[in-house]
Amino acid sequence: MIENEKPQDEAVEKELDGVPEEFLERSDEEIAEDDTSSLDTALDRLRDDLEAAKQEVLYAKAETQNVRRRLEKDMQDARAYAATGFARDILSVADNLSRALEHVPEELREGDKAKRFIEGIEATQREVEKVFGQHGITRIAAVGLPLDPNQHQAMMEIPSDEHEPGTVVQEMQSGWMIKDRLLRPAMVGVAKKPD
């Protein structure tokens, strides 16, 4: 039997070649203690990884929710302001109707044929303003109010003793809003102190 044991001892010694002496002399308790500490370290790493993964998931959910809200707002804005370009183009039609009515002489208003024609233009102007109102397009108030650079565009200064400086005293072209956005500023003349 002793002869059989020698080859096994030699095989074991070959396997242990290169293993530092300090590991060979360790007790079973030391080995168990090291296994426990390395297991604890691995568990700590796993817990940290799990926490990091949870945070990443929370950030991803928050980002998804933010993107969804932005898209919903963009869709609402697109619906609300879809007619902006068309409305800007139609404003010139409304301006021309107003100018036409302003320049009708009184004697034409009294004649029967011209009176019906003028009433037709007035009815068309009322209809245009009604349609504007249905789509949230409103006229900007200007004359008699202080100049508001968000709604008025000052085209000239008019010397005036009657009005405070910076007050709108003349409207050259009406301004319009679509819902809460500026469609076109009112072009105005603003009072200034006389020289």
**pLDDT tens per residue, range 15-51:** 656 655 655 555 556 555 666 777 778 888 889 999 9
Counts for the chain of helices (H) and strands (E), in that order: 6, 6
Q: Which pTM value belongs to this model? A: 0.57
181 and 87 co-located in one domain: yes
102 and 186 co-located in one domain: yes
Q: What is the domain extent for residue 42?
A: 25-80
Q: Is residue 55 part of a domain?
A: yes
Q: Is residue 20 part of a domain?
A: no
150 and 179 co-located in one domain: yes
Instruction: Identify the domain boundary among 46, 80, 114.
Output: 80
Strands (E), the chain: 137-140, 152-159, 168-173, 175-178, 181-184, 186-192
Domain count, the chain: 2
Instruction: Identify the domain boundary among 14, 48, 80.
Output: 80
**pLDDT tens per residue, range 45-98:** 889 999 999 999 999 999 999 999 999 998 888 877 777 888 888 888 888 888
Count, residues in the chain: 195
